[in-house]
Structure 1
Amino acid sequence: MKQIAILGALATVALTTPAFAQDLYGFAYGGSAASADLNYGGTIGGAPNSVNNDLEGGYGLGVGVGKTFQAWSTDKIGLRGELELSFSDRDADQIQFSGNGPAAEVNVAGGIRTTALFANVIADFKTQGALTPFAGGGLGIAHINQDLVYGPGVRIQDSDTRLAAQAIVGVSYAASDRITLTADARYRRVFGVSSTRLSPAGTSTGTVRGDLESTSLNIGVRFNF
């Protein structure tokens, strides 16, 4: 969490210096965290096993600042850079542990919370009307807090900070000279999330590792400063 705060503060200072202040905007969004999967593999109880986690739709929020780079834009494509801070919360829906066979586990509870900082590059595909399609992506870091419970009280309970990436597609509507409404879909992947697996007694039974994949649908607003 400290790394995210420090990087965010440094990037915000850079974006808001006089040399960068022109064409600066802020944005906020919220939406449904439509789906997410975290498929763990590792050595559990001395043998290779997997713990596949399906997370039900939760919610996500994001805020940030961005800048339109007029010098790098054309009459057909506009280029923007963004710094985005986001948070999402999802509950566990289904967990399958290979050591207990193919059936889903019982007594599933808990969930995963993610705080992420992304640097995005977005391309706007200019049209003659008020609607503008856009697409882009970003790289960043994500802090994962997880507390997944299943079976007789087995827990995957840990936190981890890892490299993350996202792809973004959407459309914007220019409501006024200063306000733009947005709708988008985001696919994210956090790489190499690891956690300790705990027995009902609280002792470690091994370490598991996997990628957290998620998709979200969002609506938001951009406002020019």
Structure 2
Amino acid sequence: MAAVFAASGAAAQEGWYGAVDLGYHWPDSLEATSSNNAANGAPYQWDFNQEDDWAGFARLGYQLNDNWRIELEVGYRSGDIESVRGGSNQAVVGLCTPGVTRTAAAPACGSPDGDVSAWTVMGNVIYDILPGSALNPFVGAGVGVNHVKMDVLGQFSNVPGTVTAANAQQNLTIDDSDTAFAYQLIAGLAWKATDQLSVDLTYRYLGGSDLDFTSTGSLASGLQPGVFSGDYRDQSVTLGLRYL
């Protein structure tokens, strides 16, 4: 290890670079609150849970000097909806598989349909800690915008009051997108393969302001939560190539 970190070539070059990163991301639950109240007089408070999935990033940057670089980054994250659930204090606990008639003999709820995708555009500032070494740790931060598209279709898991043939199956549809301020924290390790080519192992933590998604209940006189508001948070690890 001492030999690796002691091995140093010429000082880091200045100039433009391009990079691509591919990897894995695990989104946090999107904790959302509705604009309309449920039957108990309180808003719906549901967690929209996504499955872990792949993530990709493209970066265009400029190496200012040995330690500092700046870059413009475009990122994409996707994930199927795993569940939509609230606490036991909710008038309606969450969403189930649409179009399924549940009975005492077949009470299984199942998962709603849909997915959530996020496009980010970020301006990053990166600090290279050991720019002259073959292995170079780096840290950074970025600010920008996050455009999130939510597509969800599910059946209300329980309908308060008397269940009739007309309201036994009420579905909720969310097909909306919103854009909000976003920030990210970055840490990683770069391996200098050549003077111009580096391999980056990068961790990103993404957060930001609340996003709004309009929902529509299938029964006009039935359950209508209105607009759900919550913030999108995500963690990702990627492996990428950066060419100076």
- TM-score, length basis structure 1: 0.80
Instruction: Give the corresponding residue for 1:51.
Output: 46
* Distance change (3 Å), C-alpha of 1:199 and 1:223: same
Q: Distance in 2 between matches of 1:24 and 1:52?
A: 42
Shift of 1:205: 3.4
Q: Report the Cα distance in structure 2 between the residues aligned to 1:103 and 1:111, rounded to whole angstroms.
A: 14
What does the per-residue CA deviation read over 1:120-150, in whole Å, with 9 as the maximum and x for residues that have no partner? 0011111663110111110001111111233
The residue that corresponds to 2:60 in the other structure is 65
3-state DSSP class of the match of 1:100?
coil
Structure 2 residue aligned with 1:210, among 216, 222, 230? Answer: 230
Q: Which one has a bigger Cα radius of gyration?
A: 2
> Which of 15, 24, 28 does residue 16 from structure 2 map onto?
24
8 Å CA contact retained: 2:25, 2:77: yes
Q: Which runs of 5+ in 1 are unaligned?
A: 1-21
5+ residue gaps in structure 2? 1-13, 97-108, 157-170
Change (3 A) 1:165 1:151: same
Q: What TM-score comes out, normalization by structure 2 length?
A: 0.74
Name the Cα RMSD after superposition. 2.2
Summarize deviations over 1:186-218 as a string: whole Å, max 9, x none: 110131110112213489531110101111110
- One-letter amino acid of the structure 2 residue matched with residue 55 of structure 1: Q
Q: Distance in 1 between matches of 2:95 and 2:34?
A: 19
Q: Deviations over 1:9-59 (max 9, x none)?
A: xxxxxxxxxxxxx51111110111123321101233454121211111111
Q: Distance in 2 between matches of 1:151 and 1:87?
A: 29
Alignment correspondent of 1:88 = 77
**Shift in alpha-carbon separation, 1:157–1:127, aligned structure 2, 3 A:** same
Aligned partners of 2:83 and 2:149: how far apart in 1? 18
Measured in 2, the distance between the counterparts of 1:135 and 1:59 equals: 22
Change (3 A) 1:44 1:216: same
Name the structure with the higher helix share.
1
1:176 aligns with one of 161, 175, 194: 194
**More deviation, 204-213/78-87:** 204-213
Aligned residues of 2:44 and 2:92 also touching (Cα < 8 A): no
